Amino acid sequence: MSSLIEAVALWTILMERKMYCHGVARHMAEMIVVDNKEGYSVIRLNRPEVMNALSFELVDAIAEALETLDTDGRCKAVIITGNERAFAAGADIKQMQTKSTVSFIKENNFSVWDGIQRFRKPLIAAIEGYALGGGFELAMLCDIIVASESAVLGQPEINLGIMPGAGGTQRLTRTAGKYVASYYILTGERMSARDAERFGLVSLIAPQGKALQEAERIAGMIASKSLPSLLAAKLSINSALETALSGGLAFERYLFYSLFSTHDQKEGMTSFAEKRKPVFTDD
């Protein structure tokens, strides 16, 4: 019931006001580059000297950029990508090796990942090269994953005497199943993009060097849709992972009914009847 109440509150805010663009600076922080495109944005991880290792500061920068883009009315989808060598080759081990159980608890470093999970718009990962450890966990936070045919994914934390700590044991198991997840998490073995696709972890395979291009094609398609329907659909999809079927169906139906109070629903159905492209205003 609490999730339904939260959804009602969120939906009320959305319906009562149009979201205005506040803009995002191209250089949000030195460790990321944010490019605003027509209808979507690209966040590029920018620590090439360490293969985009996820330091606490880098994850903070990603979360801060997403928080801004969440209320940017021009942005309907976001792509997270790295470079040709790595999406993100893992967590910043040098930064973490001196941490203790107490310091993790007191500083609550991983809470920022929860903020990324709450991002309401479609999130697309475009992977070239390595997506390992925290990099793989970041990709699995996304709604769509596009991987280059030469991409390499995995959770190698067991090789360091630890285990995944940013969702790897949970999201990998929910997506690929217990036995696949157990094999890769307990052995630390890496998986190819083709295997990841076979396990349901990758949405699409792109030719080497073309992952971002394919992700941008998808983001462009998403950007042509109505924002309220995008937000509602993502919310409903994510609820399927956390609710029983009966509750999920009820929640889906509520959101479906809610969209009939929008201008875009009227425009979408009228344009279909008139055999023309819809002109959505996100109202």
pLDDT of residue 244: 94
Amino acid at 165: G
**Active-site residue, 167 included:** no
pLDDT of residue 78: 98
pLDDT tens, position by position, for the chain (283 residues)?
555 545 545 554 444 444 333 333 433 458 999 999 999 999 999 999 999 999 999 999 999 999 999 999 999 999 999 999 999 999 888 888 888 899 888 888 888 999 999 999 999 999 999 999 999 999 999 999 999 999 999 999 999 999 999 999 999 999 999 999 999 999 999 999 999 999 999 999 999 999 999 999 999 999 999 999 999 999 999 999 999 999 999 999 999 999 999 999 999 999 999 999 999 999 9
Q: Are 33 and 27 in contact (CB under 8 A)?
A: yes
- Return the number of other C-beta atoms located less than 10 Å from residue 66's C-beta: 23
CA distance 88 to 128: 9
Q: Which of 128, 137, 214, 216 is catalytic?
A: 137
**Active-site residue, 216 included:** no
- Return the number of other C-beta atoms located less than 10 Å from residue 110's C-beta: 14
CA distance 18 to 158: 47
**Active-site residue, 137 included:** yes
> What does DSSP say about strands 123-127 and 204-206: parallel, antiparallel, or unpaired?
unpaired
Q: Which of 77, 128, 151, 157 is catalytic?
A: 157
**Active-site residue, 38 included:** no
Our CA dihedral for 164, 170, 171, 175, rounded to 10 degrees, sits at 130
pLDDT of residue 84: 95
Q: Which of 7, 53, 91, 147 is catalytic?
A: 91
Q: How far apart are the first and last CA of the chain?
A: 27
Evaluate if pTM is beyond 0.85.
yes
Please give the domain boundaries of the chain with CATH numbers for all domains: 1-17+226-283 (1.10.12.10), 31-223 (3.90.226.10)
**Residue whose token pair is 């090439």:** 48
Q: Are 95 and 244 in contact (CB under 8 A)?
A: no
Q: Provide φ and ψ at 268, rounded to 5°.
A: -60, -45
Is 245 exposed, middle or buried, given 0-12, 13-18 or 19+ CB atoms closer than 10 A? exposed
Q: Which of 82, 90, 134, 154 is catalytic?
A: 134
**Residue whose token pair is 């950029």:** 65
What angle separates helix 2-16 from helix 245-258, to the nearest 10 degrees?
10
CA distance 271 to 275: 6
